[in-house]
Structure 1
Amino acid sequence: MKTRPAFDDAASAGIITAEQARALSAFYATRPGGAVSFDLAHVLWYAGALVVIGAMGLFSTLAFGMMGGPALTATALIYTAAFVAAGRHLRIAHDLPVPGGLLIACAVAMTPLAVYGLQESWGWGEQGRPGAYRDVFTWIKGGWVPMEAATLVASAIALRATRFGFITLIAAVALWFLSMDIGLWATGPDLDWEARRTISLWFGLGLIAFAWAVDLRQKRTDYAFWLHLSGILTFWGALTWQSSDSEVAKALYALLNVALIGLAIFLSRRIYAVFGAIGVALYLGDLANRVFRDSLLFPFALSLIGLGLIGLGILYQRHADRIGGAMMRSLPGSLRRLRPDHGDRA
């Protein structure tokens, strides 16, 4: 993988010019497989963006939400303008696309606050006021739908203007909230836990399919990564939190997680292998607990399972190319065409 320091070193050695180093760095930075390494600076950038988004959303206080509709909308618009201006400045003037893109993502995340303020000012319609602003992120209510729809529109506009993949995560979360709230509209107030889990399960599966389709079409910016992450989080979470004492259901859960590991190889997306491996470990741990219940051997059995998984990881690392090649050769041509044409990026 090419990185900016590597090109700078080549320029210092006289192999290429400084201008060529900058051009090559920009070219590889926009390629799906050519993202720079995720170092401490990236961790701080993403952590800061998440703190800002959380501060103005999930972790906002009750007093903040009581400022009144006009004040909330004004706050959101001022923050949005400041974030967009700062983000564009970092991207254009300082060649810092990641922190600049994150600031623009923060601007998109201000959309629910702006719409909530407008609804507070203009009225909530027949359903009445569903709650304080911070409840948007914790309660399923039909009154939140305009905020989620507006966030999707803002995300689409931002993605059109700024090709930065993290914005798709905000869109995916808004779409998940929207699916829940529309489900409440469709079923009435009695949306129980099982219905919510089912909605999340199918939503996650649909989002994975959409991310796959994006993977097949994208050429430069990696929009699909955050869609894959959102999809597997939603699908796997709903799958794992099912309540069943059936051995058949538990075995099927294990097989689905093994299938996720295979999907990771096919799509070249490691995130599926991470969740698949966790799911297999959970199943094996539950199995060991039932077999060795209240036994001195349980800790040793669980340790052996963990060591076995590590050993399988080492074995796969040594033969990854052969395993991937064998998988591709065994697939018909119609399925091979559905494999994204990129290296393992996630």
Structure 2
Amino acid sequence: MEVTKKKLEDAAAENVISLQQADALYEFLIAQSQDVPRFTFTHVLYYLGGLIAIGAMTLFMNLGWEAFGGAGIFFISLLYAGVGLKFSNSFSGNGLTIPAGICATFVVCLTPLTIYGVQQWMGVWPDESAYRDYHRYIKWHWLYMEFGTLAIGALIAWKYKYPFLIMPIAVTLWYMTMDIAAMISGGDYTWELRKLVSLYSGLLLIGLAFWIDIRSHKKADYAFWVYIFGVIAFWGGLSSQHSDSELSKFIYLCINLIMIGVGVMLVRRVFVVFGALGCCGYLGYLASDVFRDSWLFPAALTAMGLGIVYLGVLWQKHEKAITQKSRLFLPVSLRELLEAKS
């Protein structure tokens, strides 16, 4: 539930609290949430600028930088990293946590480029690929850049403790699973293998995110980005699997329904969004293939939808009692996590 100034003023108008208390409470809540990402114009500017700078050094890097040679790329990257750390420390000193975290993340994202420069400089780069291919293709020798990024990312995250720093670490873990699979398979990275690697690496990332969530939910949301890339990898790998079995397709629907349930329980919208997409895809398959000419299918689907709405009404009536009783069977750490998110 979002607490706005209008809601507090409405509470004061109903004599729940005084107008002075409403103003004081609003100022207190604003101060408490200033370091939490919100959909405000200021925060949009922060993240837009940060993502443009990060994208310039990663996704949008062009071949023009190859003209500097390995040594040039290495020293320019170090210069950029120094500037990023300087800005991060300056923002942190002024209490601007979000831009400080974005600048620290920019430094972590420079790590693959820096390592690439060193390898080119020392003449140990194994083929004719360029740095801009790092985010486009799967190759085993990216692993040097990925291990280095994990090391620098872990070091900076340990020192600065900004949640946004987990983003490049999560992306790197995702990349690493694919590149390790390419190395193990001897470079024979077929589409079938890609789907399986995405599926299982996504599950591992989701498990890691859940562990981080339990360990750190009292401090900050460090699990956010790991959940996002874990769900994307898992759902992408799952949805790209091919099967002619109706049972397999129904199991796919059930998995997506479970994802929605998990998302609601953990208050993680990424599970709900992708679970809903999967359910819609399955219903679309039923409508276009299985029940293409059936007049009964839309009627049955309508009845099902209304039944779900009624189920929601029943849940709302008994939610508190069901929640309290069901949480008694959960481990203490998980119970604390769910209570913190409710």
**Please, what TM-score do these two structures have when normalized by structure 2?**
0.82
| d(CA) in 1 for partners of 2:2, 2:253 | 38
Aligned to 1:88: 89
- Look up the match of 1:114: 114
Aligned residue for 1:237? 236
The reply on whether 1:54 has 2:18 as its aligned counterpart is: no
Segments of 5+ residues of structure 1 without an aligned counterpart are none
Q: Paired residue for 2:334?
A: 338
Does the 8 A contact of 2:112 with 2:145 survive in 1? yes
Q: Per-residue deviation at 1:124?
A: 2.3
User: 1:65: Cα distance to partner?
Assistant: 3.4
Q: Alignment partner of 1:333: what SS?
A: coil
Q: Deviation of residue 301 (structure 1)?
A: 4.7
Change in CA separation of 1:175 and 1:36 when aligned onto 2, cut-off 3 Å: closer
- 1:211 — aligned with what? 209
Q: What runs of 5+ residues in structure 2 fail to find an aligned partner?
A: 10-18
Aligned-partner residue type, residue 117 of structure 2: G
AA matched with 2:120:
E
- The residue that corresponds to 1:278 in the other structure is 277
Give yes or no for contact 1:129–1:143 (8 Å, CA) kept in 2.
no
Are the counterparts in 1 of residues 104 and 156 from structure 2 also a CA contact under 8 Å? Answer: yes
In the TM superposition, what is the alpha-carbon distance from 1:47 to its structure 2 partner? 2.5
Aligned partners of 1:310 and 1:17: how far apart in 2?
42
Is residue 2:74 matched to residue 1:76? Answer: no
Structure 2 distance, partners of 1:325, 1:36, is 33
Contact 1:328 1:336 (8 Å CA) reproduced: no
Shift of 1:121: 0.7
In 1, Cα distance between the equivalents of 2:287 and 2:221?
40
**Aligned partner letter, 1:143:** H
1:287 to 1:90, Cα distance in 2 relative to 1, 3 A: same
Amino acid at match of 1:51: I
CA deviations 1:24-68 (Å, max 9, x no partner) are 7665556xxxx3533233233222222222221122112223431
Q: Distance in 2 between matches of 1:22 and 1:100?
A: 23
Give RMSD over aligned pairs: 3.6
The alpha carbon displacement at 1:106 in A equals: 0.9
Mapped contact 2:214–2:334 kept (Cα < 8 A): yes
Distance 1:104 1:314, change over 3 A: farther
Pair 1:105 & 2:101 matched: no
Which amino acid in 2 is paired with 1:148?
E
Alpha carbons of 1:258 and 1:296: their partners in 2 closer, same or farther (altered >3 Å)? closer
Q: Which residue of 1 aligns with 2:260?
A: 261
The match for 2:178 is 180
Q: Deviations over 1:119-163 (max 9, x none)?
A: 0011226xx225111001111111111111111111111111212
* Cα separation, partners in 2 of 1:257 and 1:342, compared to 1, 3 Å: same
Distance 1:223 1:96 in 2: 18
Count of residue pairs the alignment pairs up: 330
> Within 5 Å, which residues of 2 pair with 1:40-51?
40-51=41-52
Structure 2 counterpart of 1:57, one-letter code? T
| Cα distance in 2 between the residues matched to 1:135 and 1:181 | 13
Q: Are the counterparts in 2 of residues 65 and 134 from structure 1 also a CA contact under 8 Å?
A: no
Letter in 2 for 1:146: Y
Whether 1:190 aligns to 2:188 is yes
Q: What is the match of residue 132 of structure 2?
A: 134
Q: Residue type matched to 1:326 in 2? A: I
Structure 1 residue aligned with 2:12: none
Alpha-carbon offset, residue 22 of structure 1: 8.7
Relative to structure 1, the CA distance from residue 144 to residue 325 in structure 2 (aligned partners, 3 Å threshold; closer, same or farther) is farther
- Give the C-alpha shift of residue 312 in structure 1: 5.2
Amino acid at match of 2:156: A
